[in-house]
Amino acid sequence: MKDSLIFRRLVISGILGWIALFGAIPVLLLTGVSFLQRHPSDLIEAVFSMESYARLSDPAIGSMLFKSIMMATMATLLCLLIGYPFAYIVARANKCHARTMLLFVMIPFWTNTLIRTYALVAVLKADGFLNTALIFLGIIDAPLKIMYTQTAVFIGLIYTLLPFMVLPLYAAIEKLDHRLLEASRDLGASRWTTFKKITIPLTMPGIVSGCMLVFLPALGMFYIPDILGGARTMFLGNFVRDQFLIARDLPMGAASSIAMTSLMGIMLLIYYRNLRRSGRTVRL
């Protein structure tokens, strides 16, 4: 009996210790650093200061933040718009087809996003596949300038993150009880009403996790603006990286990333609160 207790205690304290060391402490340290001041030679100085947070409202930084959030939001919405009908088609296809269709979403999902971003260059560049094909078909005369613009970054975000939207949506739609939709139609609801009142609320958990899986990386993936947007495009991810590795302003980098994640955290908290209040259970 004593052996069992020791094993049990060992496992619990080990896991709790691991979570504390690698889950909690780094984030606490990061939060701590965001309230300190930068020091020219020692990186940080142990003086409490809100300066980094105050600087978030600087016109230059503020507009960069606004641009990043807008870009990420638009990419998320477009992924949802493209991904929802697609996930619906996959989920409603017959079992055998659905399995193959799903596999072909999994492959890009698991392929290195850096490699997929790089693959896009050959399609988008001035003498790339897209321009060559469009000129060949006579649709355009001169090559479109897409590469090294914000449009390229936008296309890149949607291209790399679409599978991250489709998979959670598929999981939610697949679980949807078809009888509920039939019942709704039998009781006289139109297709649109059924979709709005039954399908969307029931697949909401999938929509939320899909949006999270797209929105958060869209803010952080600094290599997409780097590769597709050229040198001058600055988004939150690049900004944080530059603060850490080039400007060596750790408090600023910490503050901007913490402000962003807490914003997301609050949004999620509100969502789950509302969900609990409306009586539906969520499985994390």
* Subset of residues 94 to 123 that bind other proteins, contact rule: CB under 8 A: 101, 103-108, 110-116, 118-123
Which residues make Cβ contacts (< 8 Å) with residue 62, sequence separation at least 6? 56
Using CB under 8 A as the binding rule, the residues of this chain from 58 to 97 that contact other proteins are 82, 85-86, 89-90
* Least gap, CB of 221 to other proteins (angstroms): 7
Residue whose CB is less far from other proteins, 201 or 265: 265
Q: What is the nearest approach in angstroms of other proteins to the Cβ of residue 73?
A: 15
Q: Which of 244, 248, 259, 275 binds other proteins (CB under 8 A)?
A: 244
What's the one-letter identity of residue 253?
G
Three-class SS state of 43 = strand
Residue of the chain from 153, 161, 237, 252 that contacts other proteins (CB under 8 A)? 237
Q: Binding pattern to other proteins, positions 23-42, x when CB under 8 A?
A: xxxxx-xx--x---------
- Binding to other proteins in span 178-207, by CB under 8 A: none
Smallest separation, CB 209 to other proteins (Å): 9
Closest by CA to 164, choosing from 101, 204, 114, 207, is: 207
Q: Given candidates 35, 195, 223, 271, which one binds other proteins under the rule CB under 8 A?
A: 223
Which run of H or of E encompasses 167? Answer: helix 150-175
- Please tell me whether residue 50 binds other proteins under the rule CB under 8 A: no
- Cβ-contact 88, 206 below 8 angstroms: no
- Please identify, using beta-carbon distances, which residue of 110 and 187 lies nearer to other proteins: 110
Comparing CB distances to other proteins, the nearer of 62 and 85 is 85
DSSP 39: E
> Which amino acid is located at 185 in the chain?
R
Residues near 37 by beta carbon (within 8 Å), at least 6 away in sequence: 44, 45, 47, 49, 51, 251
Q: Are the beta carbons of 235 and 125 closer than 8 angstroms?
A: no
* Number of residues forming the site for other proteins (CB under 8 A): 76
The amino acid that residue 204 corresponds to is M
Q: Please, which residue, 59 or 88, has the CB nearer to other proteins? A: 88
C-beta of residue 256 within 8 angstroms of C-beta of residue 199: no
Strand locations in the chain, DSSP E? 37-39, 43-45
Report the residue number, 71 or 250, with the smaller CB distance to other proteins: 250
